Each structure stands twice: as C-alpha cells, then as structure tokens.
Copies of this chain bind each other. A is one copy, B any other.
C-alpha cells in the first residue's frame, strides 16, 4: 500500500506538508501543492483518513454505548448497529462498542451514541465532555432519534378497532420511561376519541411475564378482545398462554406487537406488529452525531421516525 510517507519521499517534503495539502490546501503555496499532488498521482495514493484525523485532531472513531445488559437486549440492537455503521461509513468513521458505563470516556473517540438510557442515567450525561446523541426519546433536551411511539400505538389501536374487536386492552412494559408513556398515550388518546375506556396492564418485558398475566387474569378477559402490546416479546407470551387456555388467535382474541424485528417472524402465528425503522434510525443517528462533532457539539434536536403497521396472522 502506498503511504503518506511514500508521497512525502517522492515529493521530497515532510509528511506534515503532505497532510496539509490534503487537509488544509489553503495553507500551502501553489508550487508545493502541485508537487505533492503530482507525487500522489504518480504513486496512485488516496488520502488516508488517519492522516486527516491527525491533522484535524480527531480519531475518526465514535463509541456505540449500550447501557442495557446485552443479555437482555433485543435483536433489534443488531439492526441499529448496522444502520449506525452504514451512516459512519459515509464519512470513513469506525466505531468502538462500549458496554461498561465507566469506560465511556477512556478512549479517544470523537463522540458517542448512547442507547438503552434510563432516567437514572441522566446525571452521567451531564459529565460527558464529548458530543453525544441518544437513541430513545427523553425530555431533558438531549438530542435523540426514536420511533414516534405515540403514533405507533395509535396505529395499532385504530387497526384493532377496524378489525371489529370490541375490547382493546393495552399491555405495557412496567418502566417509568418516556417511550412507555408515549406508547400508553397513543393508545389512551385513540380510545378516548371514540369514548372508550382504556384498560392498561404492565409487565416486565419478557414473554414469560406476559404469559403469567394472561394465566392469572384469563377469566376476566372477554372474547372479542384485542391486546395492543408495548413489545413483540409481550405479544408472543400473550399468544402462547391464550392458546394454552384453549382460546383461538386471531378469532377469539387479537394480539398486536411492537418492534417488528426477528421475534415477530419466528412466532406462530406471525405477529401483526408495529415495525420500527431501526436500521434507518441507526443511519440517522450516525449522521446526527458526526454533524454534532463537526459543529463542536451544537444541538441537533429531536427526530421521531414514523413506524409502520405490519398486518399478519395474530389479528383477524
């Protein structure tokens, strides 16, 4: 591989001069520029992002930080990560994965994407010195990208009503976090518009918790009910226990999930779900973070991405 050193030798100038021609051509005399460019052409040299990074005092590396335990993370993080990597590739950026919050500032990364943040983490953010963006809505003024959670459950609830289910129950995640409040609000608002009374249960985000809920409450649920769920994991657990109880999905009960990554496809019946555009959000987050780095940390705002309704066998 041809290196910056080779170009410097060929042009008989210092490496720093070659760097300057690449990164700050305005600081170099036309003669010197011509000399270096000629050498680059002769050697078929393409400017190396490392040299550029050094001159710009950048590492061209950012961190992808997950504050959730990776054992409990959904497969959708994989999609987020690939989308993020795609966005980084446009600017020749690389990434480091960080799962230990105490190690966030130990590398020389130029900035951070932080995922899986909870209310208790905001104190940590105030101490960070480098630019960062969040995956997940918050109301503290930190830049973020998230799914329009409210729109998602509104779509799910409206679809359930359009399939003529008489009762619509929301099964949420028992976390006091903005995304959960938004998902509940989308459901509540839609029912209230029709003068229907909301009914909400909350479980931990595991199929087995949702299964336990149905087991305990099955006698209270009337046929012709559709469960609008805050995750596909919850939806899968509900279907499983409804079938254990001898009920028919989607005829007796409908179930609508939320996420639309992996689990919705391996379940049976396949899930009607609200699909988040996770890959796209990852790509957007990369663009937002790199822009923030280029603009020395200036605010980038909040971006909500519309999810899509995927109609399948768990609703009639």
Q: Are A51 and B54 in contact (CB under 8 A)?
A: yes
Most buried by B among A5, A15, A94, A99: A94
Contact of A233 among B78, B93, B266 (CB under 8 A): B266
Mask of A72-109 contacts with B, CB within 8 angstroms, 1/0: 01010111011001101100111111110000000111
Query: Does A236 touch B at the CB level, under 8 Å?
Result: yes
Query: Does A53 touch B at the CB level, under 8 Å?
Result: yes
Copies in the complex: 2
Mask of A225-252 contacts with B, CB within 8 angstroms, 1/0: 0000000010010001000000000000
Q: Are A57 and B5 in contact (CB under 8 A)?
A: yes
Contact of A85 among B77, B82, B96, B268 (CB under 8 A): B96
A206 to chain B minimum Cβ distance, whole angstroms, is 8
Q: Would you list which residues of chain A between 32 and 56 have a CB under 8 Å from chain B?
A: 48-51, 53-54
Q: Are B50 and A266 in contact (CB under 8 A)?
A: no
Q: Are B107 and A92 in contact (CB under 8 A)?
A: yes
- For A92, list chain B residues within 8 Å (CB): 107-108
**Quick one: given A59-B48, A82-B70, are A75 and B262 in contact (CB under 8 Å)?**
yes
- For A300, list chain B residues within 8 Å (CB): none
Q: Would you list which residues of chain A between 162 and 213 have a CB under 8 Å from chain B?
A: 207-208, 211
Q: Are B70 and A79 in contact (CB under 8 A)?
A: yes
Contact of A88 among B16, B70, B96, B211 (CB under 8 A): B96
User: How far is B96's CA from A129's CA once the two chains are assembled, in angstroms?
Assistant: 24
A115 to chain B minimum Cβ distance, whole angstroms, is 12
- For A94, list chain B residues within 8 Å (CB): 59, 61, 94-96, 109
Give A contacts to B, CB under 8 Å. 1, 3-5, 14-16, 48-51, 53-54, 57-61, 70, 73, 75, 77-79, 81-82, 85-86, 88-89, 92-99, 107-109, 129, 207-208, 211, 233, 236, 240, 262-263, 266, 268
| Known A1-B108, A89-B97, A94-B94; further 17 A-B contacts with Cβ < 8 A | A4-B54, A5-B57, A14-B14, A15-B54, A16-B16, A50-B50, A50-B54, A50-B58, A50-B60, A73-B78, A75-B75, A75-B262, A78-B81, A82-B99, A89-B107, A92-B108, A94-B95
